[in-house]
């Protein structure tokens, strides 16, 4: 059912251009990886604070507020750069367990980040228990790590 769609997407002008260029794929991928690095750093700053590992003199809510523009802008960069990467090898992605793992984790990470994690990280100090803060942070780290891991796995698979 989805295969014909993926075939059409790969045959798109963008897919053809990225696939046919010697430098376009690596340049776009570099921006994609920069986006992942920035979002990873912004996420980890807040999650490590929720875990009580770093920046204890700073409130979680202030850190979360300060990191929010970095999270949003790097997510936009990842999506904008990820689309042409996907279009250049959509059929490979269709058959790739790593791709589906990454996309599932990305959906979960985005939903989690902008719902439950945002509420917990934005709450006044002491509103949630340290155990709850740790659970949220560890879930966030696991989801975003799976996104990164899935992306690397795509590159090394089939």
pLDDT at residue 126 in the model: 85
Number of separate domains in the chain: 1
Q: Give the integer Cα–Cα distance in Å for 102 and 7.
A: 20
Short-list 156, 144, 139, 143, CA closest to 97: 156
The two three-digit tokens of residue 41, written as one number: 């750093």
pLDDT at residue 92 in the model: 94
pLDDT at residue 56 in the model: 82
Q: Give the integer Cα–Cα distance in Å for 146 and 125.
A: 29
Short-list 81, 87, 99, CA closest to 150: 99
pLDDT at residue 158 in the model: 59
End-to-end CA distance of the chain: 21
Q: Where are the alpha helices (DSSP H) in 51-89?
A: 60-88
Q: What is the mean pLDDT of each run of 10 residues along the chain (158 residues)?
A: 94 95 95 95 96 88 96 97 96 95 97 96 90 96 95 82
Q: Within a 10 A sphere around the Cβ of 136, how many other Cβ atoms?
A: 22
Residues 111, 66 contacting (CB under 8 angstroms)? no
Q: Give the integer Cα–Cα distance in Å for 118 and 115.
A: 5
pLDDT at residue 70 in the model: 97
pLDDT at residue 156 in the model: 79
Structural domain range at position 121? 3-156
Residues 46, 71 contacting (CB under 8 angstroms)? no
Q: Give the integer Cα–Cα distance in Å for 71 and 41.
A: 9
Alpha carbon of residue 87 to chain centroid: 18
The two three-digit tokens of residue 153, written as one number: 């796995």
């Amino acid at each position: 059912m989805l295969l014909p769609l993926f075939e059409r997407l790969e045959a798109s002008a963008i897919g053809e251009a990225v696939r046919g260029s010697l430098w376009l794929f690596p340049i776009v991928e570099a921006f994609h990886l920069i986006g992942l690095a920035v979002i990873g750093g912004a996420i980890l700053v807040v999650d490590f604070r929720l875990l009580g590992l770093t920046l204890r003199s700073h409130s979680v809510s202030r850190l979360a507020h300060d990191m929010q523009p970095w999270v949003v802008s790097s997510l936009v960069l990842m999506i904008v750069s990820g689309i042409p990467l996907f279009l250049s090898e959509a059929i490979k992605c269709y058959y790739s367990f790593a791709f589906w793992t990454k996309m599932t984790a990305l959906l979960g990470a985005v939903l989690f980040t902008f719902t439950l994690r945002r509420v917990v990280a934005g709450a006044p100090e002491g509103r949630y228990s340290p155990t709850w803060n740790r659970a949220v942070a560890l879930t966030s780290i696991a989801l975003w790590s799976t996104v990164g891991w899935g992306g690397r796995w795509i590159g090394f698979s089939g």
